[in-house]
């Protein structure tokens, strides 16, 4: 029987895992979490993915309660600045594409281009972001998404193409505050919390972990051990010697420097999106929380030194950065060959990581804990469960890697060696063929990475159209159609966007109300 779980590490991954296991299994499983007082957490990880709401739902947490405690805000999209050329921006929104007569609206857009901006013409969220709107009214109601119906009443025919919407937002939050919130959640529900350093890991004669030895609390024994020790990979990579497979040949950014910048939100407003601004040797993230902005430069050390990167970041932020201490971070890009070996599962940075361009770190954690619950060996160990888990977790990370490589490969920017090399660098197996394919027909479910990895074809389409470095075309068949229904739908998007911008409160107004500010 697998009855007791020992989690080593108390960052976002450790506490998300501990909370989720208790929410899933209650006291049928004992959970102990040991975290060091001396080894800090990574200290970043503030933007998420729209599926994160399932995590909070699972735990029974209401966003009106946890968001104010974690300085959280809404994120409707990622805004990409300067990836095509200086001054250009576009959004990758959390919004599926409408389809008219079986063709995604972007296919029609390529012929018509009403405003010249595919994101504003095809998605309402782009306008909400440009206008700093909240996706919720002051009453708490979510903005209307009546555009999901489509079909006869709009004068077009539907096909098997999925028309469902996707949930329109994710969150920005302070990761340390969230870890603290989840600490309370977990310990209130029986997680045993040990503050101590693990100094060694003992293996039995089969090579399975028997216990971890702490400085002050002796040995902690368990059935299943979860390695949440971050880039150290203390249990999986070190004690069990599981190899780490680097992605760096295809994704060269290996460092980051970060700042936490206090800002006056009432004056500045709160953008409901993460911004990724392209730079000489990478890109800078800007994540607006309630009361401060998290920002950082992700760069490739082959093209830029840490001093140059810090200077660039400080110049980008301006005088507000003057007295702030910068956090320099080395990133291990790639994944462990297997995330679950014997009785040890790595979750979080110890399992794998890609640069945070699409905010996938916490999504990887959520995916891993959900899969762990689905594959949990309650009665006895079964190698087939482990294999299935490892396959699923690896596919998610390999798929996200492909999607990120597309960001660099398809960017029109080519003003220095970094950006020129980005388009000629080798791409992961399979992507080269897909890139060829997408130039004659925008991505669909048959032509993107074939396993679940969180991203749908509309995301690939948004990136191809926004980045502008690869030629794309409308399907030739559209010339044989009457385009009236598509023109009408493009006008509907414009009208809905305008109405919503007029009706919804600003994101600042919404959160000022939630925080009881005057
Ligand atoms: P850590 O935060 O490193 O925690 C490790 C834990 O292990 C700590 O509690 C430490 O005390 C403990 N520990 C280590 N050694 C010992 C020991 N010997 N004994 C006891 N305890 C020990 N993700 C997103 O989803 N969105 C983002 O926007 C995003 N941005 C990122 C930006 C950067 C630059 C980086 C590097 C990552 C980013 N991530 C992002 C990823 C995200 O930060 C991580 O996925 C998340 O914080 C989980 O980290 P972790 O818990 O695995 O590791």
Q: CA 93 to CA 125: how far, in whole Å?
A: 6
**pLDDT (0 to 100) of residue 429:** 87
Our answer to whether residue 374 is catalytic in this structure is no
Pocket, ligand 1, Cβ cutoff 6 A: 8-14, 34-36, 39, 41-42, 44-48, 175, 197-198, 228-230, 232, 234, 256, 296, 329, 331, 348-349, 356, 359, 361-362, 365
From ligand 1's centre to the CA of 45, what distance in Å? 8
For a ligand 1 pocket test, name from 19, 229, 275, 332 the mutation site with the most ligand atoms within 8 angstroms of its C-beta: 229
ipTM score for this prediction = 0.99
Distance of CA 151 to the CA centre of its chain: 32
Residue whose C-alpha is closest to residue 36's, from 195, 169, 246: 195
Query: Which regions of the chain are under pLDDT 50?
Result: 149, 162
369/354 Cα distance (integer angstroms): 18
- Apex CA 472: angle with CA 100 and CA 420, to 5°? 145
Give the per-residue pLDDT at 165. 62
Q: Kindly state the greatest CA–CA separation across the chain.
A: 76
At residue 162, the pLDDT reads 45
Give nearest CA residue, ligand 1 atom 18.
Answer: 198
Instruction: Put the strands of the sheet holding 344-346 in their side by side order.
Output: 192-195, 30-35, 4-8, 224-227, 344-346, 340-341
pLDDT at 197: 98
Dump pLDDT digits (tens) for 367-400.
999 999 999 998 889 999 999 999 999 999 999 9
Could you tell me which of 16, 14, 46, 83 has the C-alpha nearest to residue 258?
46
pLDDT digits (tens, 9 = 90+) for 264-315: 999 999 999 999 999 999 999 999 999 999 999 999 999 999 999 999 999 9
- For ligand 1, the distance from its centroid to the CA atom of residue 350, given in whole angstroms, is 8
| Pairing of the two strands 77-81 and 209-214 | unpaired
pLDDT digits (tens, 9 = 90+) for 147-191: 554 556 666 666 555 455 678 999 999 999 999 999 999 999 999
Model pLDDT, residue 144: 82
Q: Where are the alpha helices (DSSP H) in 191-274?
A: 265-268
- Distance, CA of 488 to CA of 398 (rounded, Å): 39
pLDDT at 116 (0 to 100):
95
**CA dihedral of 17, 18, 20, 23, whole degrees rounded to 10:** 170
Q: Which of 18, 40, 44 to mutate to test the pocket of ligand 1 (most atoms within 8 A of CB)?
A: 44
This prediction has a pTM of 0.96
pLDDT at 166: 78
Which residue has the CA at smallest separation from atom 46 of ligand 1?
12
Annotated catalytic residue within 37, 75, 215, 374:
75
Q: Say how many Å lie between the CA of residue 144 and the centre of ligand 1.
A: 36
Q: Which atom of ligand 1 is nearest to the CA of 231?
A: 3
Helices 457-467 and 383-409 pack at an angle, to 10 degrees, of 20
Ligand 1 mean position, distance from CA 43 (Å): 7
């Amino acid at each position: 029987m697998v009855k007791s779980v020992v989690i080593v590490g108390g960052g976002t991954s450790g506490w998300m895992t501990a909370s989720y296991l208790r929410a899933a299994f209650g006291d049928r499983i004992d959970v102990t979490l040991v975290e060091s007082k001396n080894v800090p957490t990574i200290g970043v990880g503030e933007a998420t993915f729209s599926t994160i709401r399932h995590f909070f739902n699972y735990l029974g947490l209401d966003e009106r309660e946890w968001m104010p405690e974690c300085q959280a805000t809404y994120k409707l999209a990622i805004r990409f600045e300067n990836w095509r050329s200086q001054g250009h921006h576009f959004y990758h929104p959390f919004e599926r594409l409408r389809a008219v007569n079986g063709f995604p609206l972007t296919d029609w857009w390529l012929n018509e281009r009403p405003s010249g901006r595919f994101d504003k013409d095809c998605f309402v969220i782009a306008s909400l972001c440009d206008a700093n709107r909240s996706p919720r009214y002051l009453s708490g109601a979510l903005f209307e998404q009546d555009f999901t119906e489509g079909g006869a009443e709009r004068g077009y025919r539907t096909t098997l193409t999925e028309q469902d919407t996707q949930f329109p937002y994710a969150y920005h939050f302070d990761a340390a505050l969230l870890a603290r919130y989840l600490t309370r959640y977990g310990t209130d529900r029986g997680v045993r919390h040990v503050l101590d350093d693990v100094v060694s890991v003992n293996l039995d004669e089969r090579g399975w972990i028997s216990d971890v030895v702490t400085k002050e609390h002796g040995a902690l024994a368990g059935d299943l051990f979860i390695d949440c020790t971050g880039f150290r990979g203390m249990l999986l990579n070190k004690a069990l010697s599981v190899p780490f497979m680097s992605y760096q040949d295809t994704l060269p950014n290996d460092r980051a420097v970060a700042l936490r910048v206090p800002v006056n939100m009432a004056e500045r407003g709160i953008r409901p999106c993460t911004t990724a601004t392209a730079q000489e040797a990478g890109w800078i993230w800007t994540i607006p929380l309630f009361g401060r902005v998290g920002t950082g430069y992700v760069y490739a050390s082959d093209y830029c030194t840490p001093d140059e990167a810090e200077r660039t970041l400080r110049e980008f932020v301006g005088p507000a950065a003057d007295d702030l201490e910068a956090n320099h971070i080395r990133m291990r890009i790639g994944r462990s060959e297997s995330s679950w070996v014997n009785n040890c599962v790595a979750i979080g940075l110890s399992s794998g990581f890609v640069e945070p361009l699409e905010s996938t770190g916490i999504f990887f954690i959520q995916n891993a804990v959900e899969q762990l619950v689905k594959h949990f060996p309650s009665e006895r160990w079964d190698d087939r469960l482990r294999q299935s888990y490892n396959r699923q977790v690896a596919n998610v990370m390999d798929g996200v890697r492909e999607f990120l490589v597309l960001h660099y490969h398809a960017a029109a920017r080519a003003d220095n060696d970094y950006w020129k090399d980005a388009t000629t660098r080798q791409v992961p197996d399979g992507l080269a063929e897909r890139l060829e394919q997408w130039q004659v027909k925008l991505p669909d479910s048959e032509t993107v990475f074939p396993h679940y990895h969180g991203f749908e074809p509309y995301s690939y389409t948004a990136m191809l159209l926004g980045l502008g470095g690869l030629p794309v075309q409308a399907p030739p068949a559209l010339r044989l159609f009457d385009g009236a229904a598509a023109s009408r739908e493009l006008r509907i998007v414009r009208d809905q966007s305008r109405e919503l911008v007029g009706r919804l409160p600003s994101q600042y107004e919404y959160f000022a109300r939630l925080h009881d500010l005057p």
